[in-house]
Chain A
Amino acid sequence: MAQQRKAVALISGGLDSMLAAKTIMEQGIHVEGINFFTGFCVEGHTHAIRDKDKAKPKRNNALWVAEQLGIKLHIIDVIEEYKNVLINPKHGYGAHLNPCLDCKIFMVNKAKQWVVENGFDFIITGEVMGQRPMSQRRSTMPIVAKQSGADDLLLRPLCAKNLPATLPEREGWVDREKLHDITGRSRKPQMAMAEQFGIDDYSQPAGGCCFLVDKNYSAKLLDLWQAQGKRDYEFDDVMLLKVGRHIRPAANFKLIVAREEGEGRFLQGYKNQFISLLASSHNGPLVLLDGEPSAEDLFLAASITARFGQGREADWVDVGITFPDGAERNLTVKPLSKDDIPKDWYL
């Protein structure tokens, strides 16, 4: 009896990785999913923080895909290891701070390690030649295979016929004729394939699932690096860049202003790490101050805090300031007007 071959599929939660896994499962291969959490994944966090998103159905798309396919999913925390990918991308960034090619190499490399540790035979991804400008081009796909160390253990079922045969194909573990030759950015072939498989519910195409492709998020991350004088970050930084209005009145401090109650609750959890400000005479948002402000800066921060509360039209607003060690101070300030806050303070 032939040996049962096993593949691990990189599952992003999008349609392509779902179809790639399904294509291989149809050939009798045992497939399990793997999903890497870098900290920059869009889904989940923002929905969980903001009250306005609570009405939307929340699901982790990778888990949902795995359940639809009937396969196990291993979610791996790579937050620490990913720092080096983001801070020192050998192949550079895309339009923003997205190191897509290095990211793909990193993830396939991690999958290769997983395959070795868990006795699996090969790796599959939902990559389509020509679909992504950085990581899914004819010229870069061999780079991913080589630099990840996966080499010909990396099978891309959706475009395999456009690529040299991999080990699973040469060994006859999978039938190359039943693989696909999709190219380009059109989604029509994938949609037709989804229909064939009876898949009628799937998340939007891949690529929109990473904060690093977002212009505003990247700008905030760059600002953080400039402010701290080095390209580094902690996981809390990654989280806080997703929350609230970020306002930098000076190089030595910035403010994070909660936009609604859910964000306020989330920021509350950081009061022991940051100076926090909250109007006491009027309702208003919780504001975190990141940096080392002078006494004068604290007045400015309090005036900005007052601007975003219900006392914005009042002559004076009392603002309580709490320091990470629990010390408290109260300032009575005149709220800044909308025009008093230059546009370039908003990150």
Chain B
Amino acid sequence: MNREVLNARRLLCPMPVIRTQDKIKQMQPEQLLEVQCTDPGVMQDIPAWCRISGHQVLETWRGDHEYFILIKVGG
């Protein structure tokens, strides 16, 4: 399935959460969103936001001072 990508690098929490929230509002259920960040706080905050908002974190991974989260949009 095609995934959309949100570049939230250089943004500090809660801005990556806000951008994720606003992006997902424009997406359809079951679509995938990859969020790319540099703030390590996203590894807690975005999954927390997904849990209370009904979206599913499928995968998280990290690179050199970069953090990635793959989200499946909920219904």
Contacts and interface: CB of A to CB of B under 8 A. Distances in A.
Interface in B1-52: 10, 12-15, 17-18, 21, 39-41, 44-45, 48-49, 51-52
Nearest to B65: A265
A48 B17 contact: no
A48 B44 CA distance: 12
Interface in A74-98: 74-77
B48 A63 contact: yes
A46 to B, nearest CB: 9
Interface residues on B, range: 10 to 19
A64 B47 CA distance: 11
Contacts of B12: 44-45, 48-49, 239
A71 interface: yes
Contacts of A54: 40
Residue among B12, B13, B53 with most chain A CB within 10 A: B13
Contact of B40 (A58, A63, A269): A58
A48 B52 contact: no
Nearest to B43: A58
If over half of B's interface residues share one DSSP class (helix, strand or loop), that class is named, otherwise mixed; here it is helix
A74 B52 contact: no
B41 A63 contact: no
B53 A72 contact: yes
Contact of A48 (B18, B40, B48, B51): B40
Nearest to A47: B41
Interface residues on A, range: 20 to 34
If over half of A's interface residues share one DSSP class (helix, strand or loop), that class is named, otherwise mixed; here it is mixed
A37 interface: yes
A66 interface: yes
A343 interface: no
A60 B18 CA distance: 12
A60 B44 contact: yes
A292 interface: no
Contacts of A66: 52
Interface in A98-123: none
A37 B18 contact: yes
Contacts of B17: 60, 63, 75
Contact of B49 (A44, A47, A63, A265): A63
Contacts of A57: 44
Contacts of B51: 67
A59 interface: yes
A73 interface: yes
Nearest to B10: A269
A41 B53 CA distance: 22
A58 B17 CA distance: 14
A63 B51 CA distance: 10
Contact of B13 (A44, A73, A76, A77): A44
Given A41-B14, A74-B21, 19 more contacts: A37-B15, A44-B41, A48-B39, A48-B41, A54-B40, A58-B40, A58-B41, A58-B44, A60-B44, A62-B14, A63-B17, A63-B52, A66-B52, A72-B52, A73-B53, A75-B18, A75-B21, A76-B18, A77-B15
17 contacts: A35-B14, A44-B39, A45-B12, A48-B39, A48-B40, A58-B44, A59-B41, A59-B45, A59-B48, A60-B13, A63-B14, A64-B48, A66-B52, A73-B53, A75-B17, A77-B15, A265-B65
Interface of A: 35, 37, 41, 44-45, 47-49, 54, 57-60, 62-64, 66-67, 70-77, 239, 265, 269
